[in-house]
Structures are given as C-alpha cells and as structure tokens.
Amino acid sequence: MSAEEDHPTGRIAPIQARSFGFLRRTYAMLVKELIQLRRDRLTFAMIIIIPVMQLLLFGYAINTTPRHLPTAVLLQEDSDLGRSILKALENTSYFKFTQQVHTVAEFDNLLLSGKVLFGVEIPRGFERAVRRGERPAILVAADATDPVAAGSALSALGAIVQTALEHDRVAGEPGDPPFEIRAHARYNPAASSRLNIVPGLVGTILTMTMLIFTALSVTREIERGTMENLLSMPITPVEVMLGKILPYVVVGFIQASLIIGIGVLLFGVPVRGSLAMLALLSTLFITTNLAIGYTFSTLVQNQLQAMQASMMFFLPSILLSGFMFPFAGMPAWAQIVGECLPLTHYLRIVRAIMLKGSTLENLRYDTLALAALMLVAMTIAVTRFRRTLD
C-alpha cells in the first residue's frame, strides 16, 4: 500500500513531518551536548590542552639525536695534544665536558650514578707515546643503558683522530693514525633496546595504573553516595588517605614484580643490583604516584574528570621522563619540568639498579628527589581533602 493510500487525503505530509521532527530532535540533542560540554570546564580544557601540549613537546622538547651530552674527563696528563683531542670531541657537539676527575674510581662512580653519559680518559704519557709511534689509546666509556643517546655520539668518534691532529705536528697517515680511540659501551654493550625499554616499562605502567586507581577512589565514593557515611565515622583525613592508598601499594608491588619477572625470564634483562633496594625504592615511587592520584581525586567532581586529569599528568610524564626519548637531549626548560616528575627519577633508579648494579650511594640524588615529591604530594592531598570535608 502506498503512502498516498495510507493517508485519507492522499498527501505525504506526515512523512515530511516525521522527517523534520527527527532533525529537530537531533538538533536539540546536539545543542544540549554542546552546552553540557561548555559547562564541563575540565573536559573542554582537555580538548584544547592535549593537542597543544603534544605539539609543543614534540616540536620543542623531543630530540631523537641528542647533543651536548654530559661528559667527564680523566686527564692524567696536561698536554697540547690532549687538549686538542678534547676540543675535537667538543666540536662534534655531542660531548659537553661537565666534570673533571682525578681517579678511575671517580670516573666510574659518575657513570654509575648517571651524572654523566660519557667518560673520556687520556692516559699518562700519551703525547710522548704518540711521538714515539707507539699508537696509544684513549678510552671513551659510554653509559649505553640508553642506546639512542650513546649511539650517535659513539659513531662520531671515527673522525676525531684526524681532526685532533690538524693543529699538531704529529706524523701519521690517514690509514695509519698515530693513536686510537677505544669506545667502550658499558652496561649494554650490544645496544639492545629491550634492556632500556623493559625496566622503563616498570615505571611507566605503575604511573598509569596507580594514578588511575587512586584518582577514582574518592570520586567513586562521592558518586555512589557513600562519602557521607565515611565522613560520619570517627576518622581523620590522614587515616582516610592512608586507608585508601595502602592497598594499592600492594597492588603496585605485585605489578612491578610481575613486569620485572617477565623481563628477566623472557627478555633476559639482568638484575645486577640489590633486589631489596629495588623493592624499597619501587615502594617509594608507588606511594608518590598514589598521593598524586589522590590529590587529583580531591580536585575533580566525577570519575570521568579523574581519568582526564590522570591522563593529562601521564602524557608529559611519558614524554619528558626519558622513557621514550633521551632526557639529556632535551632543552633546559624541558629538563626542569622533567625533574619535577616522579617517573624521571624512578627510571634512572630502576635502570641503574638492574643494568649497572648501582648502590644507594650512587642513587642518592634521585632517591631524595622522589622522597621530596612524595611529601609534597601527600601534603597537598591531605590539605585538599580537609577542605573537601569543610
């Protein structure tokens, strides 16, 4: 039966009316959603901030060929040729001499602590050996736990020999240089990316999960209406916060153990340092992230906003911590921001313990920085929660 036969007058106006009604209702729903989006300031801010943040970070802060990397020098003799070699190294723009040491122990400790990425050792009697034709060697030691940062600089060493001889009267043909440079990639001589990525994943996964778990904890209580019952109990804000955080410390510890265990068994990642110290500092890192997530939960109004705030913090953490891109290659302002992120310090800690066998003395700076960030986050969380109660 046709539309005309279905209607007494034989017209199709009801079909058109239904079509216009559909459009009006759809338009009304669209306007309603736009108004609601405008009122949700955090979501609206996320729409603007996240793409702008990504553009600025990738455009200005991220550098896959880092230069001016911190380098220590062990200069056992002060000679014209030695200074020419150091100047030639600096002219490559890969090396920046920030430390001068006097013993091999200091040289090794700087690499273990991560304060420098390279160390250059010019042995005693070097220039005299060169002039005698003995072909002495200069040692360039690299912290290869980050193969991306070390690889480009090590590849530039080939042209250093002839460059250093341009202003020195030293005999030597290009095919038979009077000295050699021995590059020693420490801690990851095969430049295996998995040795860098797997320890970093421990911190990255813990950051994401711990932030989300605790950011949702308080907002879930508010949305379910159970916060009022909680506030009626004789309990202080600190006790509430600790009661919500401590269970997730156990969860985070289980996650860290699982990731490290899989990394060791399946990917052959070594654990050269103390497992007890790794567990202790991992607990400190987990607690810091839980306190930050708890702070987010006191700032937002619902679980969606809590998720958005967590991701807004997670994005710069993963980009500026040294997980995806070399930290030393970032500009100064990006490194300052990175130093304020717990993940930056934990990545140095977990990689140093697992790959280098570093001790607590070597990791003193990053441990103290992580503890300070935890105290700041907990203070803000308790203060914000007390204001919520008021």
Complete domains list, the chain, with CATH: 25-62+191-389 (no CATH), 69-168 (3.40.1710.10)
Mean per-residue pLDDT, 149-155: 84
The region of weakest confidence among 7-11, 32-36, 175-179, 363-367 is: 7-11
In terms of Cβ atoms closer than 10 Å to its own Cβ (0-12, 13-18, 19+), residue 13 is exposed
Alpha carbon of 362 to those of 110, 111, 121, 142: distances in Å?
A: 8, 9, 21, 17
Residue of 372, 381, 316 whose CA lies nearest to 344 = 316
Mean per-residue pLDDT, 248-275: 92
pTM of model > 0.95: no
Residue 384: pLDDT over 70: yes
| 243 or 232, greater pLDDT | 243
Question: In the chain, what percentage of residues exceed pLDDT 70?
Answer: 86
Q: Which of 18-22, 36-40, 93-97 has the highest mean pLDDT?
A: 93-97
Mean predicted lDDT score pLDDT of the chain: 83
Q: What is the predicted pLDDT for the residue at 206?
A: 93
Residue 68 contacts residue 116 (beta carbons within 8 Å): no
Residue 231 contacts residue 312 (beta carbons within 8 Å): no
Q: What is the predicted pLDDT for the residue at 390?
A: 58
